[in-house]
Structure 1
Amino acid sequence: MSGRAVMWCAALLLALLAPRAGAQDTGPVQVVDEVVVHGPEKTKPETVQAYSRIGVGDSVTPEELTRAERRLVATGLFQEVHVNTEPTGPDHVRVILDVQDKASWVVAPTFALSSSNIGGGVLYAENNLWGRSKKFATAAQVSTAESGLYVGYLDPNLFGLPQLRLSLEGQLKSDRVDEYQPGASQENPEVVRRTRLNSASIAGEFGVMLFERVRAAAKYRLMLIDAKAPSPDEEVTEEAFSTGPSQRDTSLRLMVGIDTRQNLHAVMEGINIEASYEVSSPGVWSDFTYRRFGLLYRHGLRLLGEHNLVLRGEAAAGVNLPFHQELTMGGNSLRGFLHRQFRGDTRLSFTAEYHFPLFTVRSLSFRGVGFTDTGLMLWRNIPEDRQLRDVNGRVVRGYLPDSKEGLDGATLAQGVGAGLRLYLRNVVLPLVGVDVAYGVNSGEFRFYLVAGVNPS
């Protein structure tokens, strides 16, 4: 099935699942005469009202007021939110949006600590630029696997409309790519080839949200990629990616899906199902020709008050993927194994996490998590000479001698473990996480620490 057919089928399915126009809430209906915003020191009142999606002349019910309060909490801008009404006449009310801002900016260290990837850096992030919920971040990181500079801008409220979203990002990156002997049962996987990839990229994405649940987006990315010769100290010294002049990798990614997720302080609720199609070809100004298809499922369930079951499943497949665009598993994406230990052009993965409260010290909450990660990785097709070439004959992927295609060469791996999460309610600060995972296949325990934002 072509990418266009996939997108049309997904769009039709989502249209059928979208709420019907005219559906009404139960409960008494009241007309809004005025909307008043109290409390914010930085956030503009019009931004608060835009996120509430309540305006003068609207008809509201108690259920709609509750949803407005949840929308405001889900922005991540406020540590306290209360939505109330005052009568102004028969069946008419004044809506009062009472909010308390979080500290919106942070300068913080970042850390990455896992098997085969150790390092850190510094991050500056502003979560409420100009009081209008615009977001800006810049970071620098040095680690054993990935080092670089990152800058990003996100407008989740474009033109004052929460339905529109725009993001821009740029990155300079130096990436050490280790390839390992196949198989998930090794206690200490051996590096057989080590390649250095340097890249510079810029990207922009525009998205739209319909009915507060149907999301569509288009992303255009431009990257310059340059490979160095493999390390002579490893077993395989044949190139995984041809050295020489840098190449231009541009791609267009289209996505459509259902997304009802809301992060309500430390608990994530709602479901996300999306289909994506990415193409790179001379038609989008690229030196490469490849395609990538994806299906993603994410679901957050609130249980027993502040307990949270979070599920994530993904199916991804690529056609003629060059070395730097291959699918990977391992490390934080498959705990219990090394960072990017497994590579391929087809991946199935599933993660289940159960988060639960431990204790709170003032605004700092400590939460525990138990998890299981499962992944299947394989190559669908490997050329007979083990070299994938572009239209100009340049090698964009040289496969390892022991690589096998199909289910015979597939890797099925599972990790289980537990961890700790720290959540600061009154500051816009990323979670700090510590995980200990057991690789079921290898019988090895591995430790993971992530603090702050990883630029990669």
Structure 2
Amino acid sequence: MRRYGILLWCGWASLASAQEAPPPSEEAFSPDLNLPVQTTPTSEQVVGEVVVLGVEKTRPETVQAYSRLDAGDALPPEELTRVERRLVATGLFQEVRVSTQPMADGQVRVLLEVKDKASWVIAPTFSVSNSNIGGGALYAESNLWGRSKKFVAGAQVSTAETGLFVGYLDPNLFGFPPLRLSLEGQLRSDRVEEYRLDASQDVPEVLRRTRLNSASVTGELAAMIAERVRVAAKYRLMLIDARPPSDDTTVREPAFEPGSTQRDTSLRLMVGLDTRQNLHAVMEGLNIEGAWEMSSPSVWSDFRYQRVGVLYRHGIRFFQEHNLVLRAEAITGNDLPFHQELVAGGGSLRGFLYRQFRGDTRLSFTAEYHFPLFTVRSLSFRGVGFSDSGLLMWRSLPEDRKLRDATGRVVRGYLPEAKSGLDDATVAQGVGAGLRLYLRSVVLPLLGVDVAYGVNSGEFRFYLVAGVGPS
């Protein structure tokens, strides 16, 4: 074992996640109303009133909106379980209990009893690896104004990526959970390293190092139809500035021709089936989606490229607390500039360096098996075993190894040894195990460590993680 990486980071996606713990006991709450409580109706009933109990920060109307129950609604016997799962999946509550009480007119009162999580966190970020050393700070709030709006702001200084990030997520736009709006802004200076195309290297050789500076804003509007079908549209505006390559590397010809700042805007459309729910530490449900992204002068861009992909994610629950999580993706691009190329390595392909592999076509598959170890009060320790596999390739390279935009500017100069076609694709696999810690009372869902073995190179690498990465 000659190479290693250590990574400590917190992220934007942690604001919308929740982690598994046993269901709350019957004694978790005491109803404020002195009427008999019925937790499982025996026949279909009609809701006469919805009462929210136990909230401290979250507004009662927000809890009721997520329950999707209102006076006059039919209440079949299985609906209370579905309502409880919806509330747990918001990630806002430590405990949730849903029950009913009879009313004088023959209808029922639905009691939504919840216990809020701590909704904000200020955390340091720190990273150490062969290709990235640095740190920063993050502030995150997951329940703005008690309405489940999310805000994050962070700064990081490192050898690979330095920048500022702000984001806002409204998962129930206008108080309507099927609508979701996200806004993001970022300033970034990125040191991009290109490695020799050989996954078996124990010490990957850097052939070229390029500095890319960028500023971007992104907005996405999504809608859930019948709690199953998700449709979304995302628009991104980025200003990109490329610097000449580093003098201390073998390849000196630019990967992206330096010059005036260019505008990269894109429109991304997505549709898919999504039944996933994060029930504390266990993710259940299926997600299959297709996406198409386009950049051209018609959307106010200086570039012309397209990207098409299909994504599959599936969480399967075993023995209450065991969880098999599968993820597969196929994505391909046409005329991708250097800063939009597909990459793998690091968190997306454990056992290899961050962004070690590049191409315009990528196939990937990850399988993780999570299982409980022990619990100390609200802190749960869970183990994980994983396998990451990836294939990256260029389908067809220009004869002069240069990709140009509409003005003739080179937006991708390929390495001299780069080859196209399936016969020259890079195939890599990493396997390993890790430890996860889940704290039920806060919205920072993940602490842990991964140990990954790169099958191609025979090298071990370590990742210390806190939180989840931007998504």
* Short-chain TM bin: over 0.9
Is 2:352 the counterpart of 1:337? yes
* Alpha-carbon distance between aligned partners in 1 of 2:137 and 2:62, rounded to the nearest angstrom: 30
Partner of 1:281: 296
* Alpha-carbon distance between aligned partners in 1 of 2:318 and 2:267, rounded to the nearest angstrom: 39
Is 2:251 the counterpart of 1:236? yes
**Cα distance, 1:155–1:149 mapped onto 2, change above 3 Å:** same
* Alpha-carbon distance between aligned partners in 1 of 2:305 and 2:268, rounded to the nearest angstrom: 12
Q: For 1:417-442, what per-residue CA distance to the aligned partner results, in whole angstroms no more than 9, with x for missing partners? A: 00111111001114123111001111
Kindly report which structure 2 residues correspond to 1:297-446, keeping only aligned pairs within 5 A, or say none: 297-446=312-461
Which sits farther off after the overlay, 433-442 or 40-49?
A: 433-442
2:134 to 116, 119, 122: 119
- TM-score, scaled relative to structure 2: 0.90
Is 2:279 the counterpart of 1:245? no
Partner of 1:12: none
Kindly report which structure 2 residues correspond to 1:198-213, keeping only aligned pairs within 5 A, or say none: 198-213=213-228
Q: For 1:386-407, what per-residue CA distance to the aligned partner results, in whole angstroms no more than 9, with x for missing partners? A: 0000010000000000000001
**Cα distance, 1:52–1:455 mapped onto 2, change above 3 Å:** closer
| Post-superposition offset of 1:117 | 2.5
* Alpha-carbon distance between aligned partners in 2 of 1:261 and 1:91, rounded to the nearest angstrom: 35
**Cα distance, 1:367–1:114 mapped onto 2, change above 3 Å:** farther
Partner of 1:263: 278
2:169 to 154, 165, 172: 154
Q: Secondary structure at the match of 2:250?
A: coil
Partner of 2:311: 296
* Alpha-carbon distance between aligned partners in 2 of 1:389 and 1:446, rounded to the nearest angstrom: 37
- TM-score, scaled relative to structure 1: 0.93
Is 2:62 the counterpart of 1:50? no
Q: Is the 8 A contact 1:123 1:452 kept in 2?
A: no
Q: Is the 8 A contact 1:179 1:191 kept in 2?
A: yes
Is 2:138 the counterpart of 1:129? no
**Cα distance, 1:351–1:455 mapped onto 2, change above 3 Å:** closer
* Alpha-carbon distance between aligned partners in 2 of 1:368 and 1:53, rounded to the nearest angstrom: 35
Q: Is the 8 A contact 1:83 1:98 kept in 2?
A: yes
Q: For 1:75-108, what per-residue CA distance to the aligned partner results, in whole angstroms no more than 9, with x for missing partners? A: 0000000000001147521000000000111101
Q: Secondary structure at the match of 1:62?
A: coil
| Post-superposition offset of 1:358 | 1.1
Q: Is the 8 A contact 1:111 1:451 kept in 2?
A: no
| Post-superposition offset of 1:408 | 2.1
Q: How many residues align?
A: 431
Aligned AA for 2:392?
Answer: M
Q: Which runs of 5+ in 2 are unaligned?
A: 1-40
| Post-superposition offset of 1:231 | 0.4
Kindly report which structure 2 residues correspond to 1:61-72, keeping only aligned pairs within 5 A, or say none: 61-72=76-87
Q: Secondary structure at the match of 1:366?
A: strand
* Alpha-carbon distance between aligned partners in 2 of 1:260 and 1:104, rounded to the nearest angstrom: 25
Partner of 1:447: 462
Q: Is the 8 A contact 1:30 1:93 kept in 2?
A: yes
| Post-superposition offset of 1:366 | 1.1
Between the two structures, name the one with larger relative contact order (CA 8 Å, sep ≥ 6): 2
* Alpha-carbon distance between aligned partners in 1 of 2:311 and 2:134, rounded to the nearest angstrom: 30
Partner of 1:167: 182
| Post-superposition offset of 1:118 | 3.1
Q: Is the 8 A contact 1:115 1:446 kept in 2?
A: no
Q: Is the 8 A contact 1:364 1:424 kept in 2?
A: yes
| Post-superposition offset of 1:250 | 0.2
Aligned AA for 1:403?
Answer: A
Partner of 1:29: 44
Partner of 1:222: 237
Q: Is the 8 A contact 1:112 1:451 kept in 2?
A: no
Which sits farther off after the overlay, 230-239 or 87-96?
A: 87-96
* Alpha-carbon distance between aligned partners in 1 of 2:438 and 2:236, rounded to the nearest angstrom: 33
Aligned AA for 1:123?
Answer: L
Q: For 1:195-243, what per-residue CA distance to the aligned partner results, in whole angstroms no more than 9, with x for missing partners? A: 0001000010000000101000000000000011100100000000010
**Cα distance, 1:163–1:62 mapped onto 2, change above 3 Å:** same
Aligned AA for 1:54?
Answer: L
Q: Secondary structure at the match of 2:78?
A: helix
* Alpha-carbon distance between aligned partners in 1 of 2:130 and 2:116, rounded to the nearest angstrom: 38
Runs (4 or more) in structure 1 with deviation over 6 Å come to none
**Cα distance, 1:311–1:259 mapped onto 2, change above 3 Å:** same
| Post-superposition offset of 1:453 | 5.1
Q: Is the 8 A contact 1:229 1:239 kept in 2?
A: yes
**Cα distance, 1:118–1:432 mapped onto 2, change above 3 Å:** farther
Partner of 2:19: none
Aligned AA for 2:380?
Answer: S
| Post-superposition offset of 1:114 | 4.0
* Alpha-carbon distance between aligned partners in 1 of 2:242 and 2:468, rounded to the nearest angstrom: 26
Aligned AA for 1:142?
Answer: V
Partner of 2:25: none
Which sits farther off after the overlay, 388-397 or 353-362?
A: 353-362
1:188 to 203, 206, 230: 203
Q: Secondary structure at the match of 1:383?
A: coil
